[in-house]
Amino acid sequence: MSKLFSPISLGPLQLKNRIAIAPMCQYSAREGAATDWHTIHLGHLALSGAGLLFLEATAVEPEGRISPDDLGLWSDATERALGEVLGAVRRHSAMPIAIQLAHAGRKASTRVPWEGGQSIPSTQPRGWKTVAPSALPYAAHDETPQALERAGMERIRDAFAAAARRADRLGIDAIEVHAAHGYLLHQFLSPLSNRRDDEYGGALPNRLRFPLEVFDAVRAAFDAGKPVGVRVSATDWVEGGWDVEQTTAFARELKQRGCDFIDVSSGGLSPLQKIALGPAYQVPFAARIKADAGMPTIAVGLITEAQQAQDIIASGQADMVALARGILYDPRWPWHAAAQLGAQVDAPPQYWRSQPHELKNLFSGNTMVR
């Protein structure tokens, strides 16, 4: 049996294979509410044969959005809109669906990527004042964020918990807390962005404190029978910043609190980062955390080929792989990987006739919907 297509459990959640679709921002919501675009986008990815589908970074409060067009889950209106999208997807796919809950912190209030992605000052239309652990902007030309006081931190922690309860009501199968890519929780973790002099800054245990409080709040608010994991940046790629040793310490603390998986990425905190790009360039971070912290890991980063993904799993470097840009380019990547590796994938009966004659057993034909 192909290791990539072998079953796996993330805590209590049973998955049919080890391919995940990573969270990918679509910048297509209206005041945080999902739209028809999300139905189309998620619908076709849910027919891909992957084992797990992550929804994009979903803001827990309006000020936590990366852009004004980000998806959110902070109100009855945003919950209802997302529920309508999920209902349509689930009528035609049984793929488990997870959500990534996020707050952008000082990297909020920006234009969408196809409009340049620059920050929008709070004085301009659609902009707002951002928050951060310390009054340090992401880039020198950005507006200085407001340093969070304890009341603001408690509000954001409670917003994460409230979003987790909404996700539970929507029947979401798993939650990933976003503590990577330079967003708010990562900003608390890194000494480059956290210059606080209270119990939430300075030494590593202090910098871990708020992200761990948020994780605890989400874990307590979500169904105990469903997994909660965390997305991390294993390194800032900047000297003196957050690194894999600190990430491993964070993972160990999370494991003690019932974290079910770690999704291992890197970078995003500083424009000074110097990333050594290459095929599977982030996989060694996942392998290190898996070995040192003993937690199930998801590897990401320029994983593009079926045999490459198979080797990552077979060698024990990670427990799953997550695809992002690659599966946007090829939404049937799991089908093609299964064909190459001699495995099977679920496919809707409307597509059964598409399999090549030499691949009579490619589709398993499981079309159960919820």
Q: Which residues are catalytic?
A: 183
Q: For residue 204, which of 237, 255, 253, 274 has the smallest C-alpha distance?
A: 253
Q: For residue 57, which of 241, 185, 194 has the smallest C-alpha distance?
A: 185
Please list, residue by residue across 212-242, b when 16 or more beta carbons sit within 10 angstroms of its beta carbon and e when fewer do.
Answer: bbbbbbbbebbbeebbbbbbbbbbbbbeebb
CB 253 within 8 A of CB 204: no
Structure tokens at 108: 């909020």
Coil/strand/helix, residue 28: coil
Q: For residue 254, which of 294, 203, 195 has the smallest C-alpha distance?
A: 294
Residue with tokens 């002099």: 197
As a whole number of angstroms, the distance between CA 225 and CA 78 comes to 24
Q: For residue 236, which of 202, 264, 266 has the smallest C-alpha distance?
A: 266
Amino acid at residue number 201 = G
Helices (runs of H) and strands (runs of E) counted in the chain: 10, 12
CB 178 within 8 A of CB 57: yes
Dihedral sign, Cα of residue 111, residue 112, residue 113, residue 114 = negative
Residue 177: Cβ within 10 Å count: 27
CB 192 within 8 A of CB 202: no
As a whole number of angstroms, the distance between CA 264 and CA 131 comes to 25
